[in-house]
Structure 1
Amino acid sequence: MLSPAQKPTLSLPVTIAEKQQQLLDELNLFQDWTERYQYVIDLGKKLAPMPEDLQTPDRLIKGCQSQVWLDSSFADGKVNYAADSDSLITKGMIALFVRVLDGQTPDDILQADMSFIDQTGLKEHLAPTRANALTLMAGQMKQHAIAFAGK
């Protein structure tokens, strides 16, 4: 039997860049873009449900074709996000960002290079309005981080 010191440890991604790379690696397992979209939709289905009382007009991300709600809280120096959408693909898209940014410090979120989303290959197969939504989502999440940056 292995002692605790000898047991292999799984290293979970900690930094935003590590989370982004893990997500890109997962998406690269799929050869076909429809499989990638299904994976993104599945991520959205796994997103923790956002309470309906938080799905208010002031939490809507303006400019998105679908309704996308975003809320955030701040605890122990970290930003925590809650999100939802009335569209499966859009919920999956916001889930990508929640997965990468949730639980990070405001400064790390503000410094994060969000162009990783371009490397997913998803934008090329989205309608222009949905592709624009990705930029709006990332921007809104950074705005929430700005609000917490001085705390």
Structure 2
Amino acid sequence: MSLPEQAREALACFTEARGWEQRARLLMQWGERLAPLDDAEKTESNRVHGCESLVWLVAVVDDGQWRFKATSDARLLRGLLALLLVRVQGLASAELAQLDLRGWFSELGLERQLSPSRSNGLHAVLQRMAQLASEA
């Protein structure tokens, strides 16, 4: 499975980063790239449960390809969500179901920074994506 262009860009940025402080700064910057959700999208039906922080996920499937928007009340999590979204944008349902989330964050050099609660939260987001894909 080839990487989308923005995912390749993220990989290049994070591969060049030296140490956690630089990666944390990058995470914050990537989080700022997320398209904002309006209040009408921050509904209970769009909320991802299983995260300690508040997380909302909006999904649209267009011609078999998934497009996602997401946000969180937690800054670091917004960065992690941004990195997840650049990896999954435009994937088909079957590709989405096969995504190795831990592998992606390992490639970015962020696996050690994923606390159990953050890791569980990201997996909850990915599970929600897979659930939406299976229902489509």
Q: Which has the larger radius of gyration?
A: 1
Cα 1:109/1:18, change in 2 over 3 Å: farther
Structure 1 CA distance, aligned partners of 2:79 and 2:67?
17
Shifted more, 19-28 versus 48-57: the winner is: 19-28
TM-score normalised to the size of structure 2? 0.85
Alignment check: 8 A CA contact 1:68 1:83 kept = yes
Output the CA distance in 1 between the equivalents of 2:11 and 2:130: 21
Identity, in percent, stands at 27
Matched with 2:23 is 36
Which one is further off, 36-45 or 121-130?
Answer: 121-130
Paired letter, 1:143: Q
Q: Tell me how many residue pairs correspond in the alignment.
A: 135
Distance 1:18 1:109, change over 3 A: farther
Segment drifting more, 19-28 vs 133-142 = 19-28
Unpaired runs of at least 5, structure 2: none
The residue number in structure 2 matching 1:3 is none
Between the aligned partners of 2:90 and 2:68, the Cα distance in structure 1 is: 8
**Distance in structure 2 (CA, Å) of the matches to 1:43 and 1:85:** 13
Query: How far apart in 2 are the matches of 1:38 and 1:145?
Result: 32
Preserved CA contact (<8 Å) 2:30 2:83: yes
Distance 2:32 2:26 in 1: 10
Give 1:48's aligned residue: 35
Q: 1:71: which partner in 2?
A: 58
Runs of at least 5 residues in structure 1 that lack an aligned partner in the other structure? 1-13
The structure 1 segments of at least 4 consecutive aligned residues displaced by more than 4 Å after TM superposition are 17-22
Deviations 1:59-86 (A, max 9, x none): 1111111101001011122111111111
Two-structure CA RMSD over aligned residues (Å):
2.2
TM-score, normalising length: structure 1 = 0.77
